Structure 1
Amino acid sequence: MATRLPPVHALSAFEAAARHSSFAVAAEELCITPSALSHRIRLLEEHLCERVFVREGRSVTLTEFGRRYLDVVRVALRTLSDFPLPNKVTQSQLRVKVTVPPTFARYMFMPRLASFTDAYPDIEIEVYLFVPLYDLSLSESDVEIRFGAGEYPNLVTKKLFIEPSFVVASPAYLKTLPPIQSPADLRHARLLRSALEPWQPWFEVAGLDWPEPTTGLRVDDLGLLLEAVKHGHGIGLTRQQFAQDMISKGEVVRVLDTQLATPPHAYYLVHEAQANIRPEVQLFIDWMQATYQQV
C-alpha cells in the first residue's frame, strides 16, 4: 500500500514559520501571502491530525508535537536540498501570480498583457482562474482581479474602472418578439438571469417597478451569458468591453438606449496588505492600474 506523504510545500512553510516564529515573515521569505502560508500549515495539521503551532494573536509557538516533528522535517528538507543535481542551473526568476475571472481574462486581460511582458521581459506571469462571487479568499496568488461589490475586509481593494451595463439580444431572437420600443416591452422577452448582472438595478433606471426574475435560464459567467444571448436563448445585460466584437459582427445588437451607469458589481484589484510588496508585484499592480484607467 502506498504511503501518503505530507506535501513538501507544507513542510517548507512549517519549517520557515517555526524558524521565524511568524507566519508573516515566513510568507515573505517564501514569496507567498500570509493567508497562503496559513493554508499550507492547516493542510499539514490535517494530514498529521495534530496541531504544530499554538497561535497567540500575531505570534506563533510550536506545540510539543511540533517541536519533535520539526527535527524530522529539517533533516528531510536538508537531505533533499543537499542532494547533488549535476544538470540543474541555479536561477532566480521573478514571478507574479495573478488570479482573474474567466471573462475578464479572455476579453480584457490577455489582449493587453503583452504591453507588460514587453516592458518587463524578466518577470514571468502565472495566470489562474476563479469564479466571481464564489471563491472569495486569496489563494497563493500575489494579486487577484475580483468581480463583485468591492467589500473585501482586511484586503487592499482598488476599483479598476467603471463601465455601464446595457441590454443586448440576437437579431434572430428579436424577430420572434413584438417590437421593443420601450423598457416595458421587455415583458414579451425571456430575460436571462445572472447573479453577476442582476436586472433589478437596471429596472429602476428604466422606470420599471419589476422584481428580479426568478425563472428562466441562469448563467453565472459573463462570457457564457453573452454566448447565451448570441445563440438566441433570451435577452441579457452585458458591457461594452465584452460585447463590442459581437456587436461589430452583428451577432448581437443593443436593445434600447437605457443603460445602468454604475452597476452593483465591478472589477477590483485585490491583494494582501503588506508592508513590503515585492518589486515585481508592485510593478504589475502599477501597470494594471495605469492600463485600466484608460478603459
Structure 2
Amino acid sequence: MAIRLPPVHALSAFEAAARHNSFAVAAEELCITPSALSHRIRLLEDFLGERLFVRDGRTVTLSEFGRRYLDVVRSALRTLSDFPLPHRSSPAQPRIKVTVPPTFARCLLVPRLAEFARLHPDIVVELFLSVPLYDLGLGESDVEVRFGAGRYSDIVTEKLFEEPTFAVASPAYLQSIGGLKNPADLSRATLLRSALEPWQPWFEVAGLDWPEPSASLRLDDLGLLLEAVRHGLGVGLSRKHFVQDLIARGEIVHLFPQVQLKSPPHAYYVVYEQAERRRPEVGAFIDWMLDTFRRL
C-alpha cells in the first residue's frame, strides 16, 4: 500500500510561519509570495483535515493541533536536513517561475527567451500557462503576464505594450462571400467571437451602431481565434504581432486598414508582488521583459 505523505514544501512553509508567527516574514525567508505561502498552508490543512493556525485579521497563531504537529514536522525536517550529502557541494541555480497566456508565450516570449538566456545564463526560467481574463492570485508563480484590463488589486501591474486591433479574414473566406469592401459589408459575414477581443469597441471606431455578436463560434484563446480565421470560419479581430507572419505569407488578409481600434480594452501586463522583485533573478527577468516588449 502506498504511503500518503504531506508535500515537503508545505511542511517547510508551515514550520517557517510557525517560527516567525507571520506569513509575510515566512514567505520572505522562503523567497515566495505571501499568497503562495498561504496556498501551501491551506494545502497542508486540507491534507491533514485540521486547522494549523487561528487567523484573526493579519494575526496568525498556532492552533492546539498546530502546536502538537509542529514538533513532529520540526523533527522530520531536522532529520532530512542533517542527513549527510557528500556529493552536494555546489549551490542550486537561481530560478524563477513565470506564468503566461499561451498565445503570448508561443508568439512573443519563447522566440525572445534566447536573449535572456544569453544575458543571464545562470538563471533557470520555468514557464507555466494561464487562462487570460481569469484574475487569479499569483499562487506559486514569481511573475505573471496577464491579458486583461490591468486592474489587479494588491500586486504591482506594469503594461508591457499596447497595439491596435483590426479585422482579418482568409482569402478563401473572402472569396466565398464575394469580398468585403467596407465595414458595413460585415453584415453578411460570420464574425468570430472572443471575450479577449470584443467587437463592440471596434464597431464604434468603424461607425457601426451594432450590438456585440452572440450567435457565432466563440474561441477564448487568441491562437485558436487566428486558426479559425486561417481555416476560413469567419472574420476575426487580431493584432499585428500575432498575425503579421500570416499576412506576409498571404494566409490572412488585413481588412479595412483605415479602421483600427488604437486602444483596445485589453492589453498585456506583467504583474508581481513587490517583495519578489527584490530577488535578483526576478528583478532581472522583470527588467528584461519591460525593456524587450516596450521596444516592440
- Give the TM-score of the pair, scaled to structure 2: 0.96
Q: What are the within-5 Å matches in structure 2 for residues 68-217 of structure 1?
A: 68-134=68-134, 136-217=136-217
Cα separation, 2, equivalents of 1:233 and 1:276: 44
Cα separation, 2, equivalents of 1:136 and 1:46: 20
Distance change (3 Å), C-alpha of 1:276 and 1:115: closer
Cα separation, 1, equivalents of 2:28 and 2:276: 10
Computed over aligned residues only, the root mean square deviation of the Cα atoms, in angstroms, reads 1.4
Cα offset, 1:273, TM superposition = 3.1
Cα separation, 2, equivalents of 1:156 and 1:24: 17
Provide the residue aligned with 1:271 in structure 2. 272
Cα offsets for 1:224-255 (capped at 9, x unmatched): 11011001111100000000111111110111
Provide the residue aligned with 2:251 in structure 1. 251
State the AA in 1 paired with 2:231.
H
Is 1:241 the counterpart of 2:241 in the alignment?
A: yes
Cα offset, 1:53, TM superposition = 0.9
- Conserved? CA contact 2:103–2:222, under 8 Å: yes
- Conserved? CA contact 2:28–2:275, under 8 Å: no
Cα separation, 2, equivalents of 1:253 and 1:20: 60
State the AA in 2 paired with 1:259.
Q
Cα separation, 1, equivalents of 2:289 and 2:54: 39
Q: What are the within-5 Å matches in structure 2 for residues 36-75 of structure 1?
A: 36-75=36-75
Cα offset, 1:120, TM superposition = 1.0
Runs of 4+ deviating beyond 4 Å: none
State the AA in 1 paired with 2:268.
Y
Cα offsets for 1:112-141 (capped at 9, x unmatched): 111111111111111111110125221211
Cα separation, 1, equivalents of 2:275 and 2:77: 28
Cα separation, 2, equivalents of 1:161 and 1:276: 20
Provide the residue aligned with 2:33 in structure 1. 33
% identical aligned pairs: 69
Cα separation, 2, equivalents of 1:276 and 1:100: 17
Provide the residue aligned with 2:224 in structure 1. 224
* Mean Cα deviation higher: 281-290 or 2-11: 2-11
Cα separation, 2, equivalents of 1:50 and 1:94: 34
Listed as ranges, the gaps of 5+ residues in structure 1 are none
- Give the TM-score of the pair, scaled to structure 1: 0.96
Listed as ranges, the gaps of 5+ residues in structure 2 are none
Cα separation, 1, equivalents of 2:135 and 2:268: 14
Cα separation, 1, equivalents of 2:96 and 2:111: 18
Cα separation, 2, equivalents of 1:122 and 1:49: 41
Q: How many residues align?
A: 295
Cα separation, 1, equivalents of 2:247 and 2:179: 19
State the AA in 2 paired with 1:261.
K
Distance change (3 Å), C-alpha of 1:275 and 1:190: closer
- Conserved? CA contact 2:142–2:276, under 8 Å: no
